[in-house]
Amino acid sequence: MIYGFRLPTINPHMSGARIECIYAEPGNALKIGSKLFDLGVDLSSAFAQECPPISFFRVVLREPVFLRKLNVARGQLCELGELVALFSNEADESLSAAPVRDIRLTVAGIIHHDGLWTGNVA
């Protein structure tokens, strides 16, 4: 089966998120608990202030799958509902079919770290 990861609503005021870190590559066999991405959510358009209100989140898998295709790059801004990645049960399963459902995952808040795109681009 083919599964998708669409950027979920993490905060009701967000319009999108930035891909801060990518932890897996297409072809990787991933297990429960594997890290996929770190995301940055900037709410400055909803809550203007001197220091932009940016929160960071980690996306972690809740089922074993193969990452088949990434549609994003580190530093890229994504819109809510945008198809970010495709997964499958088998390493060589055809990607011609539409995803049957979204991948099961967990999203958790994290603090800024040196590997994030935000704050580390000259």
Domain extents in the chain: 2-110
What was the pLDDT predicted at 53? 75
pTM for this model (two decimals): 0.87
pLDDT digits (tens, 9 = 90+) for 26-79: 999 999 999 999 999 987 665 566 666 788 999 999 999 999 999 999 999 999
Query: Phi first, then psi: what are they for 38, rounded to 5°?
Result: -110, 135
Q: CA angle, 18 as apex, 63 and 96 as ends, to 5°?
A: 50
Please answer whether residues 42 and 57 qualify as being in contact, where contact means their C-beta atoms are separated by less than 8 angstroms. Answer: no
CATH hierarchy code of domain 2-110: 2.40.50.100
pLDDT of residue 48: 60
pLDDT value at residue 47:
56
Whole-number average pLDDT of the chain: 90
Three-state SS for 3-37 is EEEECCCCCCCCCEEEEEEECCCCCCEECCCCEEE
